[in-house]
Structure 1
Amino acid sequence: MTIPNLILALAALLLMPGPTNTLLAVAGAERGLRAALSLIPFELSAYLAVTVPLALMGNLLASEVPMLKPVLAGLAGIWVLLLAIRMWHFRPDTQGTSVTAWGVFVTTLLNPKGLIFGLVLLPGPELPLRVFVFSLLVTAIAALWAGFGSLATLRPSTAQSASLRLRQVAAVWLALLSMGLLYSAAQATHLY
């Protein structure tokens, strides 16, 4: 895959609404853009912790331990469901902010997109360049999602209700993503 094709594939996958992007949008709504941007290093470090080892040895590992992908998908599904429940029941007046750096890190670490990046898109010649491009795209697209969420706080008179609505929509979306992950993990285990 050429670098321009890699950029297009990475950007398309990174732009898709998923658990990490949802958390960044909620963080933007709750904290504002500047504070939400401080979560990006946690997303990037989690993605790199997953994708670089997979890009280096993932195909060998996946063929030796075929249950790895469904187990990771199942863990991701459980984690995302817990995030959805927490977000639905979150009360900012008593709990502060619903999105933490640790939450972004673990969510990204378990994000199934990492498997696609590490096993499919990043492996190949010029791995350091591919990882650099990936890192730039993760940072830029995470900032877009945080910025999208921060738009909910532009009108102070409606910021609290917009933040609540965004959290509720995000909780439902995360629950749906969770069900999809759990279903795909269950289906994959039937193949073994």
Structure 2
Amino acid sequence: MPTPEIALAILLLLLTPGPTNTLMMLSGADRGLRASLPLIPVELAAYLCTVVPLTLLAHAASPWLGALRPAIAIIAGLWVLSLAIRLWHVSPHQGDRPLVSPARVFVTTLLNPKALIFGLVLLPATAPAQGFALFTALVVLVAVAWVWIGQRLPSAAGTGLALMRRAAACWLGLLSLGLLAKGFGA
């Protein structure tokens, strides 16, 4: 059974603003809660694609994973930077095309450095079935919360949405610089 401390650590790390949470918030602002709900299984699937193998192989993988961390950080940083650039240049007249696509959520979450912490540190300290069940429930809960926050933002329509996209692009740009600095500094 996961300890309350591990459950709280997973929850707080999931709540931390990052690239995936930013995309979920933007989707909520752009399309609302109901239309954004299909992105939640995509986020969960991407996390599980990374977290499950890392958790199951945590002890065997730890020696070589340390060597891969800089490359993972650089790849993730470049992806987040490309997201920031695309968000900055989104046309206000993009028609019915949603700003946040399932593919963007999947790749962004797959490259999310939080997955390394979940898979190599937090979840290996739990019984696998219970840890994965807790993780799944918390991912869904937090994703809904970020979409709901985006939907509730007062500037979620018209010019306000464009300003929010630019602010999100700036935030993602800062996150990408941090990831790139970790990758090149290691």
Q: TM-score, normalised by structure 2?
A: 0.94
1:63-87 per-residue CA deviation (whole Å, 9 max, x = no partner) reads 0353211111110000000000000
Q: Which runs of 5+ in 1 are unaligned?
A: none
Determine the C-alpha separation between the residues in 2 that align with 1:77 and 1:180. Answer: 8
Determine the C-alpha separation between the residues in 1 that align with 2:82 and 2:3. Answer: 37
What code does the residue aligned with 1:179 have?
A: L
Aligned equivalent of 2:173, options 167, 172, 175 = 175
Q: Contact 2:84–2:170 at 8 Å: present in 1 too?
A: yes
Q: Contact 1:27–1:146 at 8 Å: present in 2 too?
A: yes
Determine the C-alpha separation between the residues in 2 that align with 1:133 and 1:66. Answer: 26
Cα deviation, residue 126, structure 1: 1.2
What code does the residue aligned with 2:136 have?
A: S
**Equivalent residue for 1:166?**
164
Q: Contact 2:88–2:165 at 8 Å: present in 1 too?
A: yes
Q: Which runs of 5+ in 2 are unaligned?
A: none
**Equivalent residue for 2:113?**
112
Runs of 4+ in 1 over 4 A off after TM superposition: none
Determine the C-alpha separation between the residues in 2 that align with 1:65 and 1:146. Answer: 32
Determine the C-alpha separation between the residues in 2 that align with 1:118 and 1:180. Answer: 21
Determine the C-alpha separation between the residues in 1 that align with 2:176 and 2:16. Answer: 15
1:134-156 per-residue CA deviation (whole Å, 9 max, x = no partner) reads 0000000000000011113x68x
RMSD: 1.6
Determine the C-alpha separation between the residues in 1 that align with 2:110 and 2:36. Answer: 18
Determine the C-alpha separation between the residues in 1 that align with 2:100 and 2:68. Answer: 28
Q: Contact 2:29–2:161 at 8 Å: present in 1 too?
A: yes
Determine the C-alpha separation between the residues in 2 that align with 1:65 and 1:124. Answer: 18
Determine the C-alpha separation between the residues in 2 that align with 1:68 and 1:58. Answer: 14
**Equivalent residue for 1:80?**
80
1:25-71 per-residue CA deviation (whole Å, 9 max, x = no partner) reads 00011111111121000100000000010011134223035321111
**Equivalent residue for 2:55?**
55
**Equivalent residue for 1:148?**
149
SS at match of 1:99: coil
Q: Contact 2:123–2:131 at 8 Å: present in 1 too?
A: yes
Aligned positions of 1:13-162 closer than 5 A: 13-94=13-94, 96-152=97-153, 159-162=157-160
Determine the C-alpha separation between the residues in 2 that align with 1:159 and 1:110. Answer: 30
Q: Contact 1:62–1:68 at 8 Å: present in 2 too?
A: no
Cα deviation, residue 125, structure 1: 4.2
Percent sequence identity is 48
What code does the residue aligned with 1:74 have?
A: I
Q: Contact 2:73–2:182 at 8 Å: present in 1 too?
A: yes
